[in-house]
Structure 1
Amino acid sequence: MLTITRLARELGLSRTTLLYYERLGLLLPALRGENGYRRYGEAELERGRQIASFRAMGLPLEEIGTLLAARQESHSCLDGHLMRLEQEIAELRRQQRAIILYRQQTHEEIPMVDKARWVAIMQAAGMTEEMMRNWHIQFEKMEPQAHQEFLESLQIPAAEIAAIRTWSRGV
């Protein structure tokens, strides 16, 4: 049996987070000792891992609770979340294009980020090479023209852009 501190360490979460999950009814201790200490077993550890995994996917705690309580197939919930993320990304891209267009029309200087700076920003945000590669694949799949314009804005040579877009298409 694990203490709350040990469980927190195993899950890479804070003790406070686990107490919050307990208050929400997401992760309850297997038992409580006479001294009031919480004890967690393998099932609670696995449930904690599921919660942490769903949180890493960006699911709100309320949806995680529903998902775990109903023991429904996670694909439908995740598909819905993925669709919402795609809509948010599309909306952000529209906003980005509107700002760029406005600035071009008003002749404002647009500070550009080059490829090296963009890669550094993405790495600082925790993206691995594989994640960035997947990002390009999705961008190319969903918005090929915007992907082309984005790559050009990074001042990437035309031959390299062609190569990126080719592997992004899986060709």
Structure 2
Amino acid sequence: MPLNQIKDIIDTGGMNESNILERRLNKLNQEIRYLRFQQKLIVEMLKGKTPTDKKMLMDSQTFISILKSTGLDDETLNYLHIQFEKNSPDSHQFFLEFLGLADEEIKHIRECCRQEERKT
């Protein structure tokens, strides 16, 4: 549990403990979804498909619509980018390039991710 949430529990005498635990549970669920996404991506890569294979190429809007159709919301998609940047910045760069994003857009996304990560 992050230190700021432990501080919240101490400051409130534990009165807000269930809310903090619910938030942590939601965060863990987001992390699990992210890890499953990574797992699927790695499995596809291990099958021998590389981003230069025509079957693997897709644009960002198609990819986003697929993710949203599985129930992911904008907050979770943003979280995916932040975690991708935090845990594997080179792979994040590669993935954004794979989606065909312009260099400036990639730079903007990655900088936003780093800024969000510094806030936590």
When normalised by structure 1's length, the TM-score is 0.43
Task: Name the SS of the counterpart of 2:58 in structure 1.
Answer: coil
Name 1:95's counterpart in structure 2. 43
Q: What's the % identity of the aligned pairs? A: 26
Alpha carbons of 1:152 and 1:134: their partners in 2 closer, same or farther (altered >3 Å)? same
Query: Cα distance 1:120–1:88, how it changes in 2: closer, same or farther (>3 A)?
Result: closer
| 1:109, distance to aligned residue in structure 2 (A) | 3.2
Tell me which amino acid in the other structure corresponds to 1:94. I
SS at match of 2:92: helix
Q: Tell me the equivalent position of 2:67.
A: 122
Q: Give the whole-Å Cα distance in 2 for the aligned partners of 1:143 and 1:112.
A: 21
Q: Which residue of 1 aligns with 2:55?
A: 110
Whole-Å Cα distance in 2 between the matches of residues 117 and 167 of structure 1?
Answer: 22
Gaps in structure 1 of 5+ consecutive residues: 1-73
Residues 49 and 56, structure 2, Cα contact 8 Å, conserved in 1: no
Indicate the structure (1 or 2) with the bigger Cα radius of gyration: 1
- Matches of 2:53 and 2:95, distance apart in 1: 18
TM-score, structure 2 as length reference: 0.58
Match of 2:100 in 1: 155
Which one has a larger percent helix, Structure 1 or Structure 2? 2
Question: Contact conserved, 1:103 with 1:109, CA < 8 A, in 2?
Answer: no
SS at match of 1:170: helix
Q: What secondary structure sits across from 2:54 in the alignment?
A: coil
Higher relative contact order (CA 8 A, sep 6+): 2
2: CA distance, partners of 1:90 / 1:117: 18
Q: Distance in 2 between matches of 1:150 and 1:111?
A: 11
Pairs within 5 Å for 1:4-19: none
CA distance in 1, matches of 2:35, 2:63: 23
